[in-house]
Amino acid sequence: MSVSFMNNHRKGFLLTTVGGLALSFDVPLVRLGQGEMWSIIAFRSITTFAVGLALWIALRFFGRARPALVSGKAGLLAGLCYGLSTVTFLSAVFHTATANVVFIVAFTPMFAALLGWILLKERPSPATLITMLVMVVGVALIVSGGLASGHLIGDLLAALTALALACAITIGHATRIEMGLVPLLATIFPAAVGFTFMSSGGFQIEAPLWVIFDGAVMIPLAFWCLATGPKYLTGPEVGMFYLLETILAPVWVWIVFREVPSLETLAGGAILVLALVGYSIVQMQRMDKIRTLAVPKGL
């Protein structure tokens, strides 16, 4: 194994660790803002959009690569999916427990595999199919807890978030278009929705600095690190670091707000996390075998 490969792997490990950690603070920061739902959606989204637009301008004037503001019809469609996911995700935070949201959104890669099978005729591997079935059991457990506690709407919004993100991922995979800035610039859509439904009294946020910090720093940092990670790591390896939000966000919320997940949520979340970890390990082993076979003998 070359020194260059090891250095790149460490770089990818560091980037994706930072990205996963930054993403895990999203929900706690939103809740610390203590605001009305549509005000939070509008304020957090317009802040992220401003940062994304500034990055695009900087890349256009100072970078070698000059990304388009909108990557054609595919980029616009993916942006709409990302925008919808922001609205449903933040709405879910206001309608169900944090653990429910992040555990259900963890179903995103399995939705993506299912859409790839239906739309792109990419048949999932047996490992993927088994993982999907196990994760359905986990999500069903969490949703059953939502039924009992009256949080069904929030759980369904979290599931819609996972589906919208999977649609955006599928579009990017099918078109192979560069979409690194799309999730940031797409926040103009949820910002418009938030401003539309916001009360006539303007922003109703008691601690806006938390929301500004989230939208201007943590979200762009998370998206950039996690989008850059695949340059140095395999897809399954990067997917492992998305689990940091799934695992850590409920911990931060428990520490700050003393919100204890229900037994159904904990059981379903444990099933989801273990299924994803097991799937990622299997995929990493498969990629190692492919790399080994691709290396010419005698080198």
How many Å apart are CA 27 and CA 39, to the nearest integer?
A: 15
pTM of the model: 0.84
List CB contacts of 170: < 8 A, sequence separation 6 or more.
112, 115, 116, 119, 120
Distances (CA, A) of 168 to 41, 129, 175, 178, 182: 20, 21, 11, 12, 10
Least confident of 1-15, 30-44, 188-202, 247-261: 1-15
Q: How many CA atoms lie within 13 A of 36 on its CB side?
A: 13
pLDDT in tens, 102-113: 888 888 888 888
Q: CA angle, 83 as apex, 225 and 188 as ends, to 5°?
A: 90
pLDDT band at 147 (very low <50, low <70, confident <90, very high): low
pLDDT band at 3 (very low <50, low <70, confident <90, very high): low
**Distance between CA atoms of 249 and 251, rounded to whole angstroms?**
5
For the record, the structure tokens of 283 come out as 């995929």
Position 196 scores a pLDDT of 94
Q: How far is CA 169 from CA 35, 54, 113, 235, in A?
A: 30, 24, 10, 12
